[in-house]
């Protein structure tokens, strides 16, 4: 964990005062490895599942939670994972275990619900006769998987490098924050489709920034990113209610005008909004008005007020966006108009607006900015450090 792994770093001390730093490439400081090996991250792939499809290519081994080898085998055809209250079933084999770890040996692949993964797959029995699956994977392979899912693989390599460092920083922060939890990251936070997103070009780009993360005042921080800010990135305090730090306070962005989500307008039926809110036990009917309150520097509202037959309700704006659906209501920087059966939302940007603007990063790269300059633009006052 980075807090203990960066023991010589004290808050606020300038980098040049630190031990033996050398600049390895434009502005990235190298201390010699601070971590002795590439960290492993635990990613929640599925939760509350009743069944899932598993296939394995190459040789593999299955262990219990205590690394006792239960089985070794060679390839596994499509098999269904299911559970009882005390055992896990794979195909027609029953294992009296509450956890199974499946490791592919010698560069094999594990396929879960048609998506191929590197590393280890852990199946964990839940209390409700359901199960969850966690992928334990080295951070570099994880970053490669995220990169191919979060950005167009054909984008400028400087933008892809910036995204790789962003994803690595975010994942390492979450590993530190959730070090005692069953998993560090879940699929709601960032897109990750295992090996599906990987290409030779992307793997090379990840390799070129291997071990590089952003720090602010010697601390790793949640390096949020999003598709399109719409003109100004947002202060994390307004979106997530967390203390602001300079790298997450918002900057002007004149680079994402080419994104089709830079400005948008969409009609959403009131009944759909009411239904989606109801699924989270928020009850409104006959919506009259939806407006954003307390916008931040990037004009993304921090709360929304919903005026309906049930009176006035306020809730966190980003939660509202996610409940309605991030593919319907693109951002919280919107105005709205009541059309009777539907509400017309007109807004800017796609995503929460905090941190790196992906379309902006791509436009900066096309204009000739290096990945280090892109990161220093969207996350002011950071230092780039190689930690392994």
Which residues of this protein are in contact with Zn ion, per CB under 5 A? 229, 253, 256, 357, 360
Nearer to Zn ion, 145 or 355 (CB): 355
Of the candidates 311, 314, 309, 313, which has an alpha carbon nearest to the alpha carbon of residue 294?
Answer: 314
**To which residue do tokens 């400005």 refer?**
263
CB of 350 to Zn ion, least distance (A): 10
CB of 176 to Zn ion, least distance (A): 28
Q: How many CB atoms lie within 10 A of CB 312?
A: 11
CA Rg, the chain, in Å? 23
21 by Cβ neighbours in 10 Å (0-12 / 13-18 / 19+) ranks as middle
DSSP per-residue string spanning 211-264: TEEEEBTTB-----EESB-SSBPBPHHHHH-PPP-GGGS--B--S-TTSTTSEE
Nearer to Zn ion, 46 or 256 (CB): 256
Q: How far is CA 4 from the centre of its chain?
A: 24
CB of 354 to Zn ion, least distance (A): 11
Q: Do residues 288 and 337 touch, judged by C-beta distance below 8 A?
A: no
Nearer to Zn ion, 102 or 151 (CB): 151
Which structure tokens are listed for 46?
A: 């599925």
Nearer to Zn ion, 209 or 259 (CB): 259
Of the candidates 310, 315, 291, 177, which has an alpha carbon nearest to the alpha carbon of residue 241?
Answer: 315
Nearer to Zn ion, 256 or 387 (CB): 256
Nearer to Zn ion, 46 or 357 (CB): 357
CB of 247 to Zn ion, least distance (A): 16
**Cα–Cα distances in Å, from 262 out to 223, 330, 358?**
21, 10, 12
CB of 377 to Zn ion, least distance (A): 10
CB of 5 to Zn ion, least distance (A): 33
């Amino acid at each position: 964990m980075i807090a203990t792994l960066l023991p010589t770093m004290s808050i606020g001390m300038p980098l040049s005062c630190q031990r033996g730093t050398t600049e390895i490439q434009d502005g990235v400081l190298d201390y010699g490895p601070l971590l002795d090996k590439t960290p492993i991250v635990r990613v929640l792939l599925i939760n509350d599942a009743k069944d899932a499809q598993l296939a394995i290519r190459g040789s593999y081994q299955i262990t219990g939670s205590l690394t006792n080898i239960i089985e070794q085998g060679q390839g596994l055809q499509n098999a269904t994972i299911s559970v009882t209250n005390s055992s896990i079933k794979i195909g027609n084999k029953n294992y009296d275990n509450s956890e199974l770890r499946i490791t592919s040996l010698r560069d094999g692949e594990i396929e879960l619900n048609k998506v191929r993964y590197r590393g280890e797959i852990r199946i964990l029995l839940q209390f409700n006769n359901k199960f969850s699956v966690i992928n334990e994977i080295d951070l570099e392979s994880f970053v490669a998987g995220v990169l191919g899912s979060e950005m167009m693989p054909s984008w400028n390599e400087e933008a892809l490098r910036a995204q790789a460092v962003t994803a690595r920083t975010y994942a390492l922060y979450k590993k530190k924050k959730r070090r005692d939890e069953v998993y560090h990251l879940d699929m709601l936070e960032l897109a990750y489709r295992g090996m599906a997103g990987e290409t030779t070009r992307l793997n090379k780009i990840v390799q070129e920034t291997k071990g590089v993360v952003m720090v602010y005042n010697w601390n790793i921080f949640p390096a949020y990113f999003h598709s399109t800010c719409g003109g100004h990135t947002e202060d994390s305090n307004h979106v997530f209610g967390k203390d602001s730090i300079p790298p997450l306070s918002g900057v002007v962005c004149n680079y994402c005008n080419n994104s089709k989500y830079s400005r948008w307008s969409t009609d959403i039926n009131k009944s759909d909004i009411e239904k989606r809110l109801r699924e989270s036990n928020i009850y409104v009917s006959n919506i009259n008005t939806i407006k954003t309150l307390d916008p931040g520097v990037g004009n993304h509202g921090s709360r929304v007020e919903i005026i309906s037959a049930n009176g006035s309700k306020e809730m966190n704006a980003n939660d509202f966006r996610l409940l309605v659906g991030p593919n319907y209501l693109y951002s919280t920087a919107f105005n709205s108009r009541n059309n009777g059966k539907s509400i017309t939302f007109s807004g800017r940007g796609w995503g929460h607006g905090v941190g790196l603007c992906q379309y902006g990063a791509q436009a900066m790269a096309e204009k000739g900015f290096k990945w280090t300059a892109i990161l220093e633009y969207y996350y002011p006052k950071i230092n780039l450090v190689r930690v392994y």
